[in-house]
Amino acid sequence: MQHTDPIRPASPPPGPDTSSATVLSRRRFVRTLALAGAALPGALTSRSQEAAPKKLGIKLGFDNFSVRGLGWKAGQLLEYAASLKLDTMFFSDLKAYESHDEAYLKDLRKKATDLGLDIQVGTFSICPTSRSLTKDYGTPEEHLTLAIRIAKTLGSSVVRCVLGSGEDRRVEGGIERPIAETVKVLKSVRSRAMDAELKIGVENHAGDMQAWELVNLIEAAGKEFVGATMDSGNAAWTIEDPLVNLEILGPYAVATGIRDTAVWEIPDGVQAHWTGMGEGNTDWKVYVDRYAALCPKTPFVLEIISEWGRPLSYLKDDFWKAYPIARAHEFARFVAFAKRGKPCQPYQVPAGKDKREYDKEFQKADLEKSVRYCKEVLGLGLKT
C-alpha cells in the first residue's frame, strides 16, 4: 500500500460549510511548511527552546507512502531518511524497488548500512477473498514468498501485509471469513518465514479489523511467525481509540504505521480525519509512554496521510451490520475520544496551483513537521 491503497479521499462538502470537512486548509499548509523548516532537522522552532524531552531509545522512521506523490524509489528514499536523521526506512510496497534481483537488493542493503538505517519490508493484501488482493505477484502464497525473499536479502525482520479494507466486514460471513482465508495463506509460508528468521506483520488496515480481531488472526496463524503491524490512524476507522488499539496490539507489534487522527461528532456519529502528529485527538505523551512499556524494540514508523478522512455513522442502524460483535467498553472509549475532538478544515489545492506539484510539497512538509514533533516533543529516535 504497489502500496496502492483502495482508500479514497472523502469529497469536500459543497459550499463554504466545512463543519464536517475532511482535510487541511491552505493556511494550515503554510503553517506546516513553516514548522517543517527549510533545513530540517537543523532549523529551530519555538518548541526547540523548551526543555528537551527524555530520550526513550525507540527507533524512529517513516513509511514511503507518506511521500507517495514524489515517486521516489528505494535508493532516494534511503538518502532522504538519512537526511532527516532517522533510524528506520519502511518500504511498504514491492514497487519501491528498481529491481527484485539479489544483486540490486544487496547493494541497497549496503547503502542502508552505510547510512545507518534499518530497512523494513512491506506489501499489500494477501487475502484471496478480498477485493484489495494484490495480483501483481502471482498467488497470495507466491506473493508472500517473494516478499520474504526480499526481506531476508535486505535484512528486514518483518514483512508487512494486509487483509483488505472495511468492505471485507460486509461480505457474507462477515470479517471472520476473510480472516480464516488469510490465516490459510499465512500458514502456507510458515516454514519460509521461520527459515528467514522474520515475522509477517499483518496490519489493522483501512477499516478491516479491530485490534482484538487481528489478535485472533495472529493466534490462529501462529504468533511464532506472525505479529501485528499496528496502525494508530486505522484504529479510528474501526471505531477504536488509538490507545485501546495500542494496549491490545502492542504486545504483538513487529511494525507500525503511526499518524494522528482528528475525530469529532457529527449528527450521524463522527467524522474521522487523519492529520500530522500533534494535530488530532491522540494524547501522544501518554501513547509513547505505553508504547515504551509494551513494544520498545518496535520502530515508531510514521505513515502520514493528512488528506483523507471518512464519516463513521454509528447512529445509523446499517453501520452495525459490519460489527455484529460490539465490545461496548472499547466503543465507549472511542466515543469519549471523539468528544474531545474539533473539526479540521478541508484539504484544497489553491486556485492556480498544479495539484500534483502541490501534493508533493504538502506531503513532504507534513512528514518533516511530524518527524520534528516526534523528536522534539516526544523524545523518539536514536539520532540527534
Q: 82: which residues sit within 8 A by CB, 6+ positions away?
A: 115, 116, 117
Residue 17: inside a domain: no
- The distance from CA 343 to its chain's CA centroid, rounded to whole angstroms, is 22
Average confidence score pLDDT of the chain: 89
Mean pLDDT value of segment 58-73: 98
Q: Is residue 281 part of a domain?
A: yes
Least Cα distance to 256 among 373, 380, 110, 74 occurs for 380
The partner residues of 121 in beta bridges, in order of sequence, read 91, 159
Q: What is the mean pLDDT of residues 247-267?
A: 98
Q: Is residue 48 part of a domain?
A: yes
pLDDT bracket for residue 346 (50, 70, 90): confident
For 57, left (φ over 0), alpha (ψ -120 to 50), or beta?
A: left
Domain residues for the domain of 222 are 26-376
pLDDT-derived band at 17, boundaries 50, 70, 90 = very low
Label residue 348 by pLDDT band (50, 70, 90).
Answer: confident
Dist. CA 214–CA 326, nearest whole Å: 15
In a domain, 383, yes or no: no
Distances (CA, A) of 256 to 33, 66, 112, 201, 212: 25, 13, 19, 9, 16
Give the residue-averaged pLDDT of 189-210: 98
pLDDT > 60? residue 14: no
| pLDDT of 190 above 50 | yes
CB 242 within 8 A of CB 331: no
Residue 342 domain-assigned (yes or no): yes
Local structure of residue 13 (DSSP, 8 states): P
pTM for the whole thing? Answer: 0.87
Residue 5 makes CB contacts below 8 A (sequence gap 6+) with 65, 206
Q: Has residue 37 got a pLDDT over 80?
A: no
Asked if residue 16 belongs to a domain, the reply is no
pLDDT value of position 152: 98
Q: Does residue 44 surpass a pLDDT of 70?
A: no
Q: Are 218 and 209 in contact (CB under 8 A)?
A: no
pLDDT greater than 70 at residue 24? no
pLDDT digit string, tens, across residues 115-149: 999 999 999 999 999 999 989 999 999 999 999 99
CATH number where 335 lies: 3.20.20.150
CA-to-CA distance for 306 and 206, rounded, in angstroms? 14
**Percent of the chain whose pLDDT exceeds 70:** 87
Q: Is residue 370 part of a domain?
A: yes
- Other Cβ atoms less than 10 A from the Cβ of 184: the count is 14
Decide if pLDDT at 229 tops 70. Answer: yes
Residue found under cell 463513521: 312
**Short-list 39, 56, 60, CA closest to 117:** 60
Residue 25: its pLDDT value, please? 43
Q: Is residue 15 part of a domain?
A: no
Question: Dihedral sign, CA of 298, 255, 367, 153?
Answer: positive
pLDDT at 331 over 50: yes
End-to-end CA distance of the chain: 30
Q: How far apart are CA 342 and CA 277, in angstroms?
A: 15
Q: Who has greater pLDDT, 22 or 80?
A: 80
pLDDT confidence tier of residue 50, bands split at 50, 70 and 90: low
Which tens digits make up the pLDDT trace of 205-220? 999 999 999 999 999 9
Q: How many domains does the chain have?
A: 1
What does the CA dihedral 30, 35, 41, 44 come to, rounded to 10 degrees?
130
